[in-house]
Structure 1
């Protein structure tokens, strides 16, 4: 279960929580990432319980040296982590699609009502995505009871797979159609009555003509307007007034005032006002829902973009179709031309051309062959491939990204919370203003009907609907635009940073350089190259670092078969070691060699420095207290790296290039890119310290890396961007994850944030200007209720259209 814990710190490393918090339900502790939780559990397993001072354990000191834990970590939380409500045991998460929410007040209402329901724990209702996430105890409450409770307040809820949207849209069309036809007849008769066309008739005859108006308006108000009235009075009952509350009060006031006038024989009737209010609200809500739906449509499509069936291959049997949820790691799947890839895996046989546009936003076809990785959600344009699944069917990258988008949309950000708070007190203020206006007109000798009409107009025109949708829809649009570009925003808080980032900290390998290394040369003055490569590849065989995999692949390419070592140990950012036939072999950088007690000769140091000054990466190999040689690995800049850096410099960013590679190699790459700021030989904690230093100078910092050795920096930065098509645990510290690895994605991320912030400011300004001009006009009597409804929905549609413009904007690249 993931929870936001703003202001708290990780129980292991001391980093701030809030982006990807992981809870240990057994101990009740909170961690910033799964890695910290795993280390904590290892501590627990070794000692039976966490020691009184965990910082004195050897495992903790190892984590500190590796930079996994920052100095000063392992702090106790200042607050108690959220607990499961009393009386609830095992909770289950229920995700629902909720239709009929017209403004954020609807979401507040449902959250309050559901939280007060026995058996329901944490509740999050997102107005922007029409989604509700509910933790409940199945032993205390059933899902059907939750659905019935939501329905009793005038909203329709269903699981995302039920697909009842069409039926509900049809029902709303029926209500709108009946209301429009009846209201048209009410308006026609009322207009004839007001215009004096019936002056020749007696008063009794005119009164008889008022009966059809009453008969036609009643079903409009009490049947067509039932959803409006139900939502409105539910909000009032729970002290969460919304637009429907204002409209319901206005329509019923006009209806019952007119009914009283009708029974007393007066012709001052406002049945037409009540009918027009209901009809315009139904029409406005329908148009608004369609517009909001178009904004969020693309990301919703991405959630269901994964292919739900797979052709499973089993030995001795013909291929059979199964659900992708049934696929397990290691299963073989056949994909033919024109079919979608159902699971993440490696191509075991065959070749073809893939369309990756759903995942990366790139519409260009990509050629794939045996041994290459393919992702669920991609589409096979040509060829036939057999895939070996690397993950279970429901744990693909696409599923993870879709879940990430769902979570981001459901989580309100700071501007959204501010707008919600304003709306909460603004609705009661408007109600008081409307009543005060009516009382003032009546108190000064005006007709009660005129005062009522003026008060109704104020109630309707001042509804803060535009204010309520200003920030949620901009968030939906920004997340949707990012999805089209292969950018997935995990933490919506970063949308506020648009145009405010000042410093960029860019990881070198894999971000600006290809990260596709190959062994260029072996330097071994006193050893045979075959022996040096065998020992190095044997130790690296157990490593997950990509440089180690390059060494192993090169050894196998030249016919050397690496052996398994004993007592393998890996130090992130430094190197590896292990026992081979009783001899300790060490492979890594200079710092690692020094820690292992391996001396580097002057001749070897001179040769290594020459290679590093040419931009190569040098990995030393040693045993027997002496460094015996080195492997020279080459890398190159990615296409577009120079152009991206030039564009970023042109925008005024302070740019730092950081790398665990040697300072000489890092300096050479920085020179190629035209950068003055660089940090070479950097451990994970050094990268984090650089971010802290820049933040301490009052700068907003963005860190971009591959997430492997950058967890501390990504978590400490104001904006952390993890690149690549793998979701490693450290990358979850980032607030933005991309499926792209091209340097231009940095520009796209920053551009999305700028556009999102600009759109929110525009939306808030539009809604503010509307209310500042419309309320005085209504109080002065320049507007009537039907015109007020039109203006109110026009302001909402303007804000929606502006948000839709953000979503429809063309990608920068």
Structure 2
């Protein structure tokens, strides 16, 4: 099964994805967006957390031109042609390594710089000859080499007339350093003792070298831990990519075997999956039997049996047997590749809250610069002196960096989409998460969604004194010669209860009625009531009542006779999924209303609804009728989630506020849905909704912290109550808090995975 692109583009456009480097905040991503969107016909969305720009552009605008535009805006850019940046960890590792080296040098020099600065501030008499040069020698490597990436990005932004968080940081570091140099070498005033270490930190004199060094350390530490956190957040997607096989053993025309790289596998080729090996790609089993473990991709703990005719998915593992598989899809057309692409595109998108944060950040930095200038001017005009004015202005610059604001939404969304993929919940876009917040009604399709989607024996009623196991074996032996759906269900049931079915002879199919034959030397007959009535065979009254009862439940029921006497009624139906009742109960506990809407007859629909716990049933509706039901509910003010799997569910899935395609649904259903639930366990439905709710709670918490932090901190800094060094520490802590809060979503445990939240 191939997962189609979640967004249908106009025929005249192309989608290009760029890996953008050098972004540090939402202002940076907004700057890249503005630069790209200035190109004719281009629409771009840039995610600062993933470093991905998703661009829809006309054919005449090629990838190189887009990259050049981003580079001209002061950032790096390369086209993503294969794996996503989250799968290719080399750039991340290089960037994190560079940050670590700069941070290590800054830390080693900062501690003696801070210690000596405090000592010289607390007791000026300790100042030895050349003490200024000692402090400057310790500070310059920090504010010069360690902080160089911050200065480069700030200058790149200024060349294009744009500002960012790096502008504030670089300006703060540079201003503190330059003013300290002026104080050290060109001012003769001797400061008064600071009377205590804490007082020295809060009210240091006008030498701010330790402030410049400390801000550099805090910012680099924050960037380094953010880089490590982003790598962890992308771990789920990398784990998915790692499921794919690297090599595959292909069968040649003469029956030989040859091992080739997975990239050389072609559609239609036959390949091997030995016990313990990863199945190389999607395909159809042509020989062999094995239990297949799909837990790494879907979280499904129970292996599934695969044999000739079974469809298998690339990335799953053959456990117990050797399979010969004919490749049905290769490369980017496989289900695994589609799912990876789906998660990557979801992580590259933007939610409404993220777009709001970007708009705020776009004007936030210029506003902060203006506030810093106003603070400096106000303190200077108020007669507080140049030192106090510079200290207050620096504190405003440093404390107001909108780092946390830019990370609040994309980090949480990235972690959630990755965690969802591990649980078998693939989120096609951030709009799905936002839609889930207001959903109050969940509409279910029946066949293949609430039910298994295949006929199974659900009841066997026998006459008193009959050997049930023997009757099932005889009936299955007879039906083994038939290809009818009811016969297949009875045969499968018999094989599950008997090691070997008895042979059938003299088999005769009776179209529309049933079948007859000799099984284990005994005359057998199976089929509809009319078959027995026409043959003049008496039907025991008890079995007649059982058949009528089963038919009232919407099941297909047949009589079975041995040696001229009716001995059993076998009822066949599309059984409810074992997980359906618990899933419906969980949705009810969440306060959601549930409905069953199906094209099946009312008896069958009501029977399934009663079994799983759904009170409202709308039966015998055409596909367009499902759409009308959804529209009617929405017209009444409800926010509707639709759960389905078939072609006829596609329009309703697209019409609903939130569409969820369950299990191995059709491409039409998957294309129309907002979320894809790849597990057969219906517990993923409430899991998906609860994960979405948890993500939105995390985002709201992050945004509240980010907004509240800046709103509360800036007035404190303007009032001169915050030393710039403490401001730098608070700024770094704010960003790390947002990242930590988002990473808690990695601990989400849905009931489908057997864990507790």
TM-score, scaled to structure 1: 0.73
Choose from 78, 93, 111 the match for 2:16.
93
Choose from 212, 216, 226 the match for 1:274.
212
Q: Which residue of 2 aligns with 1:124?
A: 45
SS at match of 1:382: coil
Q: Which residue of 1 aligns with 2:99?
A: 172
Structure with bigger RCO (C-alpha 8 Å, 6+ apart): 2
The answer on whether the counterparts of 1:707 and 1:723 sit within 8 Å (CA) in structure 2 is no
How big is the shift at 1:92?
7.5
Q: Which residue of 2 aligns with 1:22?
A: 8
Aligned runs of 1:236-247 on 2, under 5 Å? 236-247=158-169
Matching of residue 394 in structure 1 with residue 302 in structure 2:
no
The answer on whether the counterparts of 1:154 and 1:230 sit within 8 Å (CA) in structure 2 is no
Q: Which residue of 2 aligns with 1:380?
A: 318
How big is the shift at 1:714?
0.3
The answer on whether the counterparts of 1:94 and 1:134 sit within 8 Å (CA) in structure 2 is yes
Residues 487-496 or 640-649, more deviating: 640-649
Choose from 653, 670, 681 the match for 1:731.
670
Choose from 674, 680, 686 the match for 2:625.
686
- Per-residue CA deviation, residues 290-337 of structure 1 (Å, 9 max, x unaligned), is 123222321233234322322221212632223333333321011122
Which whole-Å CA distance do the structure 1 matches of 2:260 and 2:100 have between them?
Answer: 39
Aligned runs of 1:402-441 on 2, under 5 Å? 402-441=340-379
Aligned runs of 1:342-741 on 2, under 5 Å? 342-517=280-455, 612-616=551-555, 634-726=573-665, 728-741=667-680
Q: Which residue of 2 aligns with 1:187?
A: 114
Change in 2 beyond 3 A, CA 1:811/1:134: same
SS at match of 2:250: strand
- Per-residue CA deviation, residues 396-440 of structure 1 (Å, 9 max, x unaligned), is 111111111111111101111112222222222222112111111
Matching of residue 248 in structure 1 with residue 234 in structure 2:
no
- Per-residue CA deviation, residues 349-405 of structure 1 (Å, 9 max, x unaligned), is 222232212221123333333322211111233322111112234311111111111
Matching of residue 312 in structure 1 with residue 247 in structure 2:
no
The answer on whether the counterparts of 1:19 and 1:491 sit within 8 Å (CA) in structure 2 is no
How big is the shift at 1:124?
3.5
Choose from 266, 281, 289 the match for 1:328.
266
SS at match of 2:287: strand
Change in 2 beyond 3 A, CA 1:730/1:706: closer
Which whole-Å CA distance do the structure 2 matches of 1:516 and 1:547 have between them?
Answer: 10
Change in 2 beyond 3 A, CA 1:238/1:549: farther
Question: How many residues end up aligned between the 2 structures?
Answer: 651
- Per-residue CA deviation, residues 481-536 of structure 1 (Å, 9 max, x unaligned), is 21121010012112123452111110011111111126999xxxxxxxxxxx9xx9
SS at match of 2:285: strand
The answer on whether the counterparts of 1:751 and 1:812 sit within 8 Å (CA) in structure 2 is no
Q: Structure 1 regions of 5+ residues with no counterpart?
A: 1-17, 29-83, 85-90, 522-532, 541-545, 564-606, 619-630
Which whole-Å CA distance do the structure 1 matches of 2:634 and 2:487 have between them?
Answer: 34
The answer on whether the counterparts of 1:94 and 1:136 sit within 8 Å (CA) in structure 2 is no
Which whole-Å CA distance do the structure 2 matches of 1:393 and 1:292 have between them?
Answer: 27
Residues 425-434 or 745-754, more deviating: 425-434
Change in 2 beyond 3 A, CA 1:407/1:613: same
Which whole-Å CA distance do the structure 2 matches of 1:401 and 1:23 have between them?
Answer: 19
Which whole-Å CA distance do the structure 1 matches of 2:7 and 2:126 have between them?
Answer: 74
SS at match of 2:452: coil
Which whole-Å CA distance do the structure 2 matches of 1:406 and 1:239 have between them?
Answer: 32
How big is the shift at 1:348?
1.6
Change in 2 beyond 3 A, CA 1:233/1:315: same
The answer on whether the counterparts of 2:48 and 2:410 sit within 8 Å (CA) in structure 1 is yes
Change in 2 beyond 3 A, CA 1:425/1:368: same
How big is the shift at 1:751?
0.9
SS at match of 2:359: helix
How big is the shift at 1:608?
11
Which whole-Å CA distance do the structure 2 matches of 1:788 and 1:307 have between them?
Answer: 50
The answer on whether the counterparts of 1:470 and 1:800 sit within 8 Å (CA) in structure 2 is yes
Q: Which residue of 2 aligns with 1:231?
A: 153
Which whole-Å CA distance do the structure 2 matches of 1:142 and 1:687 have between them?
Answer: 43
The answer on whether the counterparts of 2:36 and 2:66 sit within 8 Å (CA) in structure 1 is no
How big is the shift at 1:717?
0.5
Change in 2 beyond 3 A, CA 1:714/1:560: farther
